[in-house]
Amino acid sequence: MPSCPRCDAPTDDGDRYCAECGAPQTEDAAEELDEYVQRQAQQVAGGGGGGEGGGDSGGGDGFADMADLNDREQLWRRGCYVVGYGTIVIALSIGKISSIPLILAGIAILPPIRRLTARPLGSSLKREVMAGLYAIFALIGVALYVLL
């Protein structure tokens, strides 16, 4: 009975991988494993890419997983989450009527809003539009806070 060259566990003649350590037992299995590892390394290294200049990238609905986005788009999304949730927390701590526009501002800049508005509008909002909505609602909220 043959054994695994890596761990010396007994294997059958038809086994492609060792049941104990997972080492490939045939040349085809070794090539398959090597191709899989190379694909995973490309994904980790950012081989999925993404568009420059603020456009959407990825799947058919205009959205991609975070792993498929370039560094600039990932930074934009993370910043939007921080600013959006931070604005909402500040608005909730104010507790006045001026907090309503601030809550709307925080919601307007959150990245999931792009996906939610894509179907009724026909396409997703560009990030410049999101930032503009945020600025308008935030200015209204701050003005109401100062005036009231």
Helix (DSSP H) and strand (DSSP E) numbers for the chain: 5, 0
Residue 81 CA to residue 78 CA, distance in Å, equals 5
Task: Encode pLDDT of 55-72 as tens digits.
Answer: 444 333 444 555 566 788
Q: Can you tell me the mean pLDDT for 115-137?
A: 81
The predicted-structure confidence for 9-64, as pLDDT tens digits, reads as follows 888 888 888 888 888 888 888 888 888 888 888 877 765 444 434 444 433 344 45
Which among 23, 101, 9, 111 has a CA at the least distance from the CA of 63?
A: 111
Helix (H) or strand (E) holding 106: helix 99-109
Q: Which residues contact 83 (CB under 8 A, 6 or more apart)?
A: 106, 109, 134
* Rg from Cα positions in the chain: 25
For 105, list phi and psi in degrees, rounded to 5.
-65, -45
Residues 6+ apart with CB under 8 A from 97: 144, 148
Mean pLDDT of the region 110-131 = 79
Tell me how far CA of residue 43 lies from CA of 57, 67, 93, in angstroms.
Answer: 15, 7, 41
Residues 5, 77: Cα–Cα separation, whole Å: 47
End-to-end CA distance of the chain: 86
